[in-house]
Amino acid sequence: MKRTAVVTGASSGIGEATARRLAAEGFDVVAAARRGKRLDALAAEVPGIRPVILDVTSQESVDELAASLDRCDVLVNNAGGAIGLEPVASGKVTDWQWMYDVNVLGTLRVTQALLPRLLASGDGVLLMLTSVAGFVSYEGGGGYNAAKHAQTSMTEVLRLELVGQPIRIVEVAPGMVHTEEFSLNRFRGDSAAADQVYEGVPDPLSADDVADAVAWCVTRPAHVNIDRLVIRPRAQAAQHKVHRV
């Protein structure tokens, strides 16, 4: 029987690329996200993908996803995002609340709902798509840094709590990735400001680069756990050190 992989936030960016890549690796892929039309188009294009509407901020929606699954061998918790670049002193509580609910509590909801199926598979893989923002803080990133630090901490705790169980807990933490929506959402739709983030940076990571890393992690032998894989473009040495031409 083919293994089943669930990918959240699969309607665009890293989630969509990961769904495509895991389908190519032979998984039955459940592509889950809020935007049904985009998921339907993806499923029509790529054999092996089943679209499911999912809002990770809704427990009811998460429970419906879990009830629709016969099995789950791999869960890629990818749904997340950032909004706003205000300093902490003037940051909007609603922005911080949204980032925490999506990145942290959304991950918690989906993990709790699908963990029994991952364990029942006999070789489950729970992969958290986090960020280097979860390790190093930077100005203007207070809310996103806080959320991603929490998600990274959750990953570490899960690995401790589930040791000895038939499951691997993996974290993939990308650096600078140029996707169609991440920075645009962060800059509240200001495309010029979003484009400046990547201006002059030779070859930032693509969504496909991260999907490749995810696929490698989840296809290792059952006894091999990739605790954390940090992936950056060659032009980015650290959060504050980026080569531009």
Please list the active-site residues. 144
> Residue 32 and residue 122: Cα distance in Å, rounded?
23
Residues across the chain: 245
What is the biggest distance separating any 2 CA atoms in the chain, rounded to whole angstroms? Answer: 54
3-state secondary structure 112-133: HHHHHHHHHCCCEEEEEECCHH
CB atoms within 10 A of CB 199: 8
